[in-house]
Amino acid sequence: MINYTPPTKHTSLFYNSQEEYLDIVVPYLKAGLENNELCTWVVPETLKIEDAQEYLNKVSENLNSYLEKEQLLIKGHQDFYLKDGVFSAYRTIDAVVELEKKALKKGFKGMRGTGDCSWALDACWFSFLMYEKELNKVIEEYKIRALCSYSIPALDLKKIRDIGTSHQSSLVRQTDNWNRLDSQEFEKVNI
């Protein structure tokens, strides 16, 4: 596991395996909890909430206290992104902003969230991509840091480029090292 918090406020994470995903997400959340931030974790469809808690419990002695004081919220994508089975970019952005306001009201320094977005690649992709681009604007106005993860096996090159350009930076594992790529590097890709 590496201890890495992306330097940008809105970062995408491209991962090939659950191990790669957890190598970034678990220390990212741990750092947020230790920094007194409200942390939300929208887990991939392949990860149970109980298992997510267990992974965090291995690196944090205070997991139960974080859960009790609602500093840590772990949800599935249906509970966070969908209402009545439908995704709305604006409703989701409003929910993120409300979480940040709730965090500040409770005395937290801000909000740190990570959501696996691989579920959105088909039926609502265009709407979800608009959400990602709009989040770039909104996130600068609030004390919010977001890490949006995508499973590489579910992606084609066009979607990788679209994701990369809609985030301030991206984390990609190349030759056994994690690298950060700025959005401009994705804009150069011709498909």
What is the chain's mean pLDDT, rounded? 92
For residue 4, the model assigns a pLDDT of 56
Listed by start position, the domains of the chain span 10-187
Say whether pLDDT at 85 is over 90. Answer: no
Average pLDDT rounded to a whole number, residues 7-14: 88
Look at 36-40, 55-59, 66-70, 182-186 and tell me which has the smallest mean pLDDT. 182-186
Average pLDDT rounded to a whole number, residues 79-88: 92
Q: What DSSP letter does each residue of 3-69 carry, written as one string?
A: ----SSSEEEEEESSHHHHHHHHHHHHHHHHHTT-EEEEE--TTS-HHHHHHHHHHH-TTHHHHHHT
Spelled out in words, what is the top-level CATH class assigned to the domain 10-187?
Answer: alpha beta
Say whether pLDDT at 189 is over 80. Answer: no
pLDDT, tens digit, 9 for 90 and up, residues 101-127: 999 999 999 999 999 999 999 879 999
Say whether pLDDT at 20 is over 80. Answer: yes
Say whether pLDDT at 47 is over 90. Answer: yes
For residue 1, the model assigns a pLDDT of 40
Tell me how long the chain is: 191
For residue 5, the model assigns a pLDDT of 64
Average pLDDT rounded to a whole number, residues 147-159: 95
Say whether pLDDT at 154 is over 70. Answer: yes
What φ, ψ does residue 119 adopt, rounded to 5°?
-65, -25
% residues pLDDT > 90 (the chain): 79
